[in-house]
Amino acid sequence: MNFLYWLNPVNWFRRDTESSETTTTTTTTAASSSSSERSVRSGYSLWQLLGGGDSTALNIATVYRCVQLLSESVANLPLMYMRRREGLFVEDYNSRLHYLLTVQPDKALSAYDFWVLVVQQVLLTGNAYIVPIYNTATMELDRLALCGRGTVNHDIYADTYEVNDEVNGIYGKYREDEIVHIKGMSVNGKEGLSVLRYASLTISIADTGDKETLSRFATGGNVKGIVSNDKSVRGFGELQDEELDNMATSLDERFNALGEHIVGMYGDSTFTQISMSSADMQFLESRKFTVREICRFFGVHPSFVFDDTSNNYKSAEMANVAFLSNTLNPLLRRIEVELLRKLVAPSLYGKRKFQFDRRGLYACDLESRVRWQQNALAVGLYTPNELRQEENKPAVEGGDSLFLSANLKSLKEFNQAQKAQKIDENGEE
């Protein structure tokens, strides 16, 4: 056990998973010795694939925008801790957990920054690990510590997590039920895989395209070709080959280093260009295709990354609906279920829940928000005063009554109205 682990008083009362394991010391040692082969270190696959960390991928504008969009969209929604009272779930403002989730999960992070970092880790490394730290005096939840990248070693066979996080002061081995583990796409249910791992080929193409663009702008377009002379000339041997090499070097320097565009050649030598132009390579078209390919991996419509695709009001609306239902909502649901599974006892299932306030998605779309409020009022879902309360407006007299649109009638009511009309026409009672 690391000596620094015992210097942290929080760990004095933490459950010791090492002593509570049912395996013998020999088995534990053997499992530890092979953990490097069967465990997943947070973010390691990303550094392997891209060399240099996620900064390489984030240098690509499309990747940067997709990660920013998803992480900030999740962080923009308040995460509510709710308690069941009289058959309804209401926010539990008195709970310490509610404060941690909506205001300040950790001493140096606001709730917004915390969830931005969580989603970024899920997208870029495939896994985000949150350690609940309890107060030793009150035994209440004190903070939620987001482990740094590369500080967690997950043994998927023993279902244990070995944490060595110097920044957060967390050391030791934890059981599966002691760590909130939010995973990305997983093929075994134990470990998440980074989006960049699947998109590594497309991202490499995009990175190569960016470097090629920089090179073309820096040099004005490299010229590639072959210098040759009249094939009928014979007898020069090595002297002729050396002269051609010198001429080729001279042309390369004049085209690139000196920035000349028109150069002269002496003798009977000729220059044949072999490089294709940007138009021939359809360079710009390939770059547009790469942008859309990256968007497919992240589940983000190209319009969200400012791609100049043909767009109209209807397609933009459908793109927004698809993003909310197919991309963002599964991520929100994954976080909600994992928090419920790790922070709430099974005996309280059905009495507590975590829920993102998805209404915040329409906070700036006033037209959609007003349309939703009108429909909610028409079907009797909310009273006028309840809607006014959501907008932080004072209640009005008579605003506590439910209203219902009278345009629709049941078949029974329709038949009774038809019968009454016939009786009235025939003069019958």
Please check whether residues 69 and 3 belong to one and the same domain: yes
pLDDT at site 272: 63
List of residues 6+ apart from 333 with CB closer than 8 A: none
Distances (CA, A) of 178 to 132, 167, 175, 315, 339: 7, 19, 5, 44, 11
Q: What's the mean per-residue pLDDT of the chain?
A: 75
Q: How many CA atoms lie within 13 A of 187 on its CB side?
A: 5
- By CB neighbour count within 10 A (0-12 exposed, 13-18 middle, 19+ buried), where does 145 fall? buried
Please check whether residues 323 and 352 belong to one and the same domain: yes
Using the 3D structure, point to which of 334, 360, 386 is the last residue of a domain.
360
Lowest mean pLDDT among 6-20, 79-93, 160-174: 6-20
- Using the predicted structure, report yes or no on whether residue 41 has a pLDDT greater than 60: no
pLDDT grade, residue 13 (50/70/90)? very low
- Using the predicted structure, report yes or no on whether residue 179 has a pLDDT greater than 90: yes
Q: Is 196 left (phi over 0), alpha (psi -120 to 50) or beta?
A: alpha
pLDDT at site 32: 38
pLDDT at site 122: 93
CA angle 159, 341, 133 (to 5 degrees): 75
Question: Which structural domain range is residue 397 located in?
Answer: 365-429
Please give the Cα distance from 162 to 380 (Å, whole number). Answer: 52
Q: Pick the more confident residue, 213 or 319.
A: 319
> Minimal CA–CA distance to 61: which of 223, 396, 300?
300
pLDDT at site 224: 61
pLDDT grade, residue 68 (50/70/90)? very high
Please give the Cα distance from 225 to 251 (Å, whole number). Answer: 10
Task: Give mean pLDDT, residues 134-159.
Answer: 90
pLDDT grade, residue 180 (50/70/90)? very high
Please give the Cα distance from 82 to 95 (Å, whole number). Answer: 9
- Using the predicted structure, report yes or no on whether residue 39 has a pLDDT greater than 70: no
Please check whether residues 334 and 403 belong to one and the same domain: no
Residue with tokens 């350690």: 131
Q: Pick the more confident residue, 60 or 233.
A: 60
pLDDT at site 116: 94
- The count of structural domains within the chain is 3
Please give the Cα distance from 110 to 103 (Å, whole number). Answer: 6
CA angle 393, 396, 401 (to 5 degrees): 115
Task: Give mean pLDDT, residues 302-314.
Answer: 70
- Using the predicted structure, report yes or no on whether residue 57 has a pLDDT greater than 80: no
Most confident of 5-9, 204-208, 236-240, 394-398: 394-398
CB 362 within 8 A of CB 368: yes
pLDDT at site 28: 36
Please check whether residues 351 and 390 belong to one and the same domain: no
Please give the Cα distance from 300 to 314 (Å, whole number). Answer: 17
pLDDT at site 277: 56
Could you give the angle at which helices 61-75 and 329-343 cross, rounded to 10 degrees? 50
- List own/partner pairs for 405-410 with CB under 8 A and 24 or more apart: 405/378, 405/379
pLDDT in tens, 89-146: 888 988 899 999 999 999 889 999 999 999 999 999 999 999 999 988 888 889 999 9
pLDDT at site 320: 77
Task: Give mean pLDDT, residues 337-353.
Answer: 90
pLDDT at site 174: 93
Please check whether residues 235 and 376 belong to one and the same domain: no
Task: Give mean pLDDT, residues 377-381.
Answer: 81
- Using the predicted structure, report yes or no on whether residue 152 has a pLDDT greater than 90: yes
pLDDT at site 323: 84
Please check whether residues 57 and 38 belong to one and the same domain: yes
Q: Pick the more confident residue, 104 or 27.
A: 104
What is the DSSP annotation of 91-103? Answer: E-TTSHHHHHHHT
Please check whether residues 103 and 205 belong to one and the same domain: yes
Please check whether residues 97 and 160 belong to one and the same domain: yes
Percentage of the chain modeled with pLDDT above 70: 64
Task: Give mean pLDDT, residues 352-369.
Answer: 78
Distances (CA, A) of 210 to 276, 280, 283, 290: 18, 18, 11, 11
pLDDT at site 408: 65
- Using the predicted structure, report yes or no on whether residue 147 has a pLDDT greater than 60: yes
Beta pairing partners, 225: 273
Please check whether residues 406 and 263 belong to one and the same domain: no
- Using the predicted structure, report yes or no on whether residue 295 has a pLDDT greater than 70: yes
Please check whether residues 263 and 157 belong to one and the same domain: no
- Using the predicted structure, report yes or no on whether residue 416 has a pLDDT greater than 70: yes
What is the DSSP annotation of 101-126? Answer: HHT-SBTTB-HHHHHHHHHHHHHHHS
Lowest mean pLDDT among 19-23, 94-98, 230-234: 19-23
- Using the predicted structure, report yes or no on whether residue 236 has a pLDDT greater than 80: no
- Using the predicted structure, report yes or no on whether residue 12 has a pLDDT greater than 50: no
Please check whether residues 53 and 197 belong to one and the same domain: yes
pLDDT at site 282: 54
- Using the predicted structure, report yes or no on whether residue 424 has a pLDDT greater than 80: no
Kindly give the pairing relationship between strand 39-41 and strand 152-155.
antiparallel
Using the 3D structure, point to which of 328, 360, 392 is the last residue of a domain.
360
Using the 3D structure, point to which of 360, 395, 415 is the last residue of a domain.
360
- Using the predicted structure, report yes or no on whether residue 215 has a pLDDT greater than 80: no
Please check whether residues 84 and 51 belong to one and the same domain: yes
pLDDT at site 337: 93
